[in-house]
Structure 1
Amino acid sequence: MSDNGPERAIQGEEPELTAAEVAQQVGIPIDQARRLFRTLGFAEHGDARAYTAADVAALRILAHSPEGPVDLDIALNVARGIGITMARLADWEVGEIVQHADDGLPDGQHADDPGAWVAAQLGERFESLLVYAWRRHLAAAVARMESVRALDDDPHTTDLSVGFADIVGFTALSNEVSRERIGELVEVFEARCGDVIAREKGRLIKSMGDAVLFVNDDPMAAFTTAEGIINVIGRDPRMPDVRVGLATGGVVLRLGDVFGPPVNLAARLTQVARRNRIIVDHATADLLPPDQIESRPLPARPVRGFGVVEPVTVRRA
């Protein structure tokens, strides 16, 4: 989306169109075209010839369906999800590849043509992998929606167990260790948490560096996930301690995220949890099998946004 060399090398096209020409070819107003580009996360370029035929094709997909024009709000929501996801993925990929490439080069040397080099490293094989992963996740999302619809008329709302796990003392830790070390810790934390969540058939909703948010359909699976995270992070002497909060109830599924009181409560519960311990709300505790899980109510205490709450500490019997 600009005239510099690396972007041309990756996009494979010379930018020849203005935003107004793109909008005209797509058949939408210029302000709508600019808004879609912004929502995808791309910078505006005024009247410069900074756009290609690929940009026209992308906006046509967003602005039109085979049955006719797409509702603008729907198009913007889809564009926002794509933009956020792809921007993070691109930063992740380039950072990982360039770091390993630079580590293998003599001091002070870098790839002569970064755009062509990165394109060669990723290329069409990675695009095929990207589409494959998207299709698998899309199939899983549709299956989940159909399962919810079988129980409820609203596919966006369902009962789930929500888990929030965070690293203890991350702010202080980040001030004490090198940037390389903190980056390694975050990478290992996210990777290990993701493995445990997937193994227990849960979903990693988002990671925030020092914390992850996940959901499970079953409270016992959520407990096992929390237990697994503590085992692979908190029990590893090379890693910092963690705290995990679980809450169960109705949540809204929207834009790849989850919202509702259980989400906020799970996060709040980590603030009262001891190191490498699991704290849950009563709704979750009541659904855990008593022959497998020991639960013990803790003293009631004020929790921001929820008034006075009686947390429950749980562990395997």
Structure 2
Amino acid sequence: MVDLDALQAAGIADAHRRAALIEYLDGLGFSADEMVEAERRGRLFGLAGDVLQRSGPPVHSFRGAAEVLGVSLDELSRAWAALGLGVTDPDEVTLSDADLDGLSVWLKVKATVGAEAALAFLRVLGTSMSRLAEAGSTMVRIAAPDIQMTRTQDELTTAKAFRAVSEATGRFGVLIEAVFRQHLVSARTHFENVIRDDTATVICGIGFADLTGFTALTQRLTPAELSDLLVEFGGVVSDLVHVDGGRVVKFIGDEVMWVTSTPELLVKVAEDLVEHPRARETGLQVRAGLGYGAVLAVGGDYFGNPVNLAARLVAAAAPGQILAGDDVRDELGGWPAVPQDALLLKGFDTPVQAYDLRVGR
């Protein structure tokens, strides 16, 4: 039997009115102290789901964790910040044993590759995890709107919905680890085909493609329709790039950047994207810009003149057009390529000769 009077005295407001929620939490095994702490944070309705999303019960402060790990509080805070996370009170108990186990991996990486390289990796990891978390949150919020108090106006309904969702999302880590290991193999295979020395320089194809007519379309579609289109476009692009042997580097709004090990694969991806019928059905067209040559592969991204050229060419391309520079044309040999008028491109001191790779095909 839950002592509602004792809970109210301990800090849970209107305990009798919220008896159904409290009894639900009690039935799941939550203690009075856990409920009071959740109420202090304004999350009594979220307690049932929150506990499933944590990496474990908090048992360490940042100051204590630094001592256990054998680093300074400043160094640990810097690593945490690189992950996109913040330390509000170094003496507040917020970290679990699993968190410390994860941070110990950072120390092993640092010992292997050096402090700055390890910190750069943490930044990429943090950015990637932040995006995954936001994507997952958006997906769930749309599919299970009852997790929002603003919708249900009922704590018990939201608590049960959030618990059900958290039973699934709390297992995302298992999926992420499995996929990460597969991508380690995929990345290694990719770099084996494009590395030429022991530096960060690789020789590969760089492609950019974007949707033309997208801005106008946003004025005609509802938010839900636009969301569905973006999700579908992202899925189609990813599928096509991967099937054609490329690797998606990133999405930038309605634009995608990808890389391939050969210029032939680069053009194949571009053609499949430009010719995809789904875009035309929605009143959109795809255009692409391509580059090929030596670039720096750093932090999961690519930098160099071929990247800059491809990015400028996609902006200069007409709807349905694939523009490439001399670097791609020369590598393709006898591939049909129609010279265009020289282009004045931002960042390039002299006019750039571009070629349309789709004319007559």
Q: TM-score range by the shorter chain?
A: 0.7 to 0.9
2:101 to 57, 60, 82: 57
2:76 to 25, 28, 33: 33
> What is the root-mean-square deviation in Å for CA atoms of aligned residues?
2.7
- The secondary structure found in structure 2 opposite 1:15 is coil
Distance 1:7 1:71 in 2: 36
Residue deviations 1:131-157 (CA, integer Å, cap 9, x gap): 2211111012223334445xx223521
1:129 to 167, 175, 194: 175
- The secondary structure found in structure 1 opposite 2:177 is helix
Contact 1:280 1:313 in 2 (8 A): yes
Deviation at 1:13, TM superposition (A): 2.8
Paired residues, number: 309
Deviation at 1:89, TM superposition (A): 1.1
- The secondary structure found in structure 2 opposite 1:153 is coil
Deviation at 1:20, TM superposition (A): 0.8
Contact 1:246 1:279 in 2 (8 A): yes
For residues 1-317 of structure 1, what are the structure 2 equivalents within 5 Å?
Answer: 5=47, 6-11=49-54, 13-47=56-90, 48-64=92-108, 71-102=114-145, 108-109=151-152, 111-112=158-159, 116-124=163-171, 126-149=172-195, 152-232=196-276, 236-290=280-334, 293-306=335-348, 307-315=350-358, 317=361
- The secondary structure found in structure 1 opposite 2:308 is helix
TM-score w.r.t. the length of structure 2 is 0.77
Residue deviations 1:267-292 (CA, integer Å, cap 9, x gap): 101122111111111221222252xx
Contact 2:147 2:159 in 1 (8 A): no
| Consecutive unaligned residues in structure 1, runs of 5 or more | none
User: Quick check: which one's strand share is greater?
Assistant: 1
User: Quick check: which one's helix share is greater?
Assistant: 2
Amino acid at match of 1:119: S
Distance 2:83 2:147 in 1: 34
Contact 2:55 2:98 in 1 (8 A): no
Residue deviations 1:6-35 (CA, integer Å, cap 9, x gap): 543311533233211111111100001111
Amino acid at match of 1:159: I
Distance 1:128 1:255 in 2: 24
- The secondary structure found in structure 1 opposite 2:60 is coil
Contact 1:301 1:310 in 2 (8 A): yes
Amino acid at match of 1:142: R
Q: Rg bigger for which structure?
A: 2
Amino acid at match of 2:265: A
CA 1:234 to 1:192, structure 2 compared with 1: closer, same or farther past 3 Å?
same
TM-score w.r.t. the length of structure 1 is 0.87
Contact 2:190 2:261 in 1 (8 A): no
